[in-house]
Amino acid sequence: MDETRDVAKLRRWCIRKRGEGVRVSEICTATQIPRRTFYNWSNRYRLHGPEGLDTRSKVPHTIHRVDSIIVEKATVLRRENGWGPQLIAGYLGTQGVKVGSTTIYRILRRTGLNHPLTKPRIKRTYRRWQRMHPNSLWQCDLKLVPPKWLITILDDCSRFVPGSEHFVDGTAENVIWLWDKAIHEFGKPREALTDHGSQFWSVRRGESLASTNTVSSRGSSTSWEASGSLRRRVRLNGGFAPTILSMVDLISTGNSFTTTITNDRTCR
């Protein structure tokens, strides 16, 4: 609706046309307003009469003010203990004073007791995934490069790319195929790092790769180990590449690797 129009006059015109029997759809089409707006004006006219069609002030009718006692307690706790808004609000809650942390934050800003950081906070500890030797850790991820999916495997130490291919679909079968190809050519990595993508997650069972499921290799069993909220590390111990354990078993026979899918389809 055009803001330059006389809205109050437009409201009265719409109500008058409706009283003359004109349909609501025709009125909305002529004035280019939504039906919801017309019915809102109609309700205002029905409840308050012609005065209800006048433009209302947007100034809030109720102004909430914080009690001076709360302001005094918050400032005292800030000066004496150096507490933040959340801690102050929690402590006042235990004393029977219900106040939100946002309100405490506004009080601290208004009283000049808030001390924002002049530069970004420095993280003291970092979890690093770097490895000192090639084939110690491979990282795998998928990216949609329309119209195809790019699946890439990266060696963490040398930054060498053992495998990278474009696929029509970013499925677990294609991930397994690429890992099988990379292992054929460059050997087996000791560990594998992936994100929380569905290609590395058991959708059917609703459990992660860091579950009790195992990957079998030459009669030995190695389980997937979780390390990180959205990142999981897999210790292969000479085993195979990451995959959805509820869907596939990777079988090693000598130097040949065969990928078997439970629905009797291979990924090649």
For residue 118, being part of any structural domain is answered with no
- Is 39 in the same domain as 101? no
Q: How far apart (Å, rounded) are the C-alpha atoms in residues 171 and 264?
A: 16
Q: What predicted TM-score, i.e. pTM, was given to this entire model?
A: 0.39
For residue 188, being part of any structural domain is answered with yes
For residue 34, being part of any structural domain is answered with yes
- Is 249 in the same domain as 169? yes
**Taken in order 174, 164, 199, 145, is the CA torsion positive or negative?**
negative
Exposure on the CB side of residue 210, measured as CA atoms within 13 A: 15
- Is 39 in the same domain as 100? no
**Domain count for the chain:** 3
Full domain range(s) for residue 206: 137-261
- Is 33 in the same domain as 78? no
| CATH code for position 234 | 3.30.420
- Within a 10 A sphere around the Cβ of 249, how many other Cβ atoms? 16
Mean pLDDT across 112-130: 77
pLDDT band at 73 (very low <50, low <70, confident <90, very high): very high
Q: How far apart (Å, rounded) are the C-alpha atoms in residues 116 and 42?
A: 50
- Is 141 in the same domain as 257? yes
- Is 104 in the same domain as 154? no
- Is 49 in the same domain as 77? no
Angle separating helix axes 68-81 and 85-94, nearest 10 degrees: 120
- Is 224 in the same domain as 157? yes
Q: How far apart (Å, rounded) are the C-alpha atoms in residues 250 and 215?
A: 7
pLDDT band at 202 (very low <50, low <70, confident <90, very high): low
pLDDT band at 66 (very low <50, low <70, confident <90, very high): confident
pLDDT band at 118 (very low <50, low <70, confident <90, very high): confident
Q: Which residues of 213-233 are buried (b: 16+ CB within 10 A; e: fewer)?
A: bebebeeeebbbeeeeeeebb
- Is 100 in the same domain as 196? no
- Is 26 in the same domain as 106? no
The candidate with the shortest Cα–Cα distance to 105, out of 120, 138, 137, 83, is 83
Let me know if 18 is exposed, middle or buried by CB neighbors in 10 A (0-12, 13-18, 19+). middle
- Is 172 in the same domain as 230? yes
For residue 27, being part of any structural domain is answered with yes
- Is 46 in the same domain as 75? no
* Paired tokens of 48: 């308050």
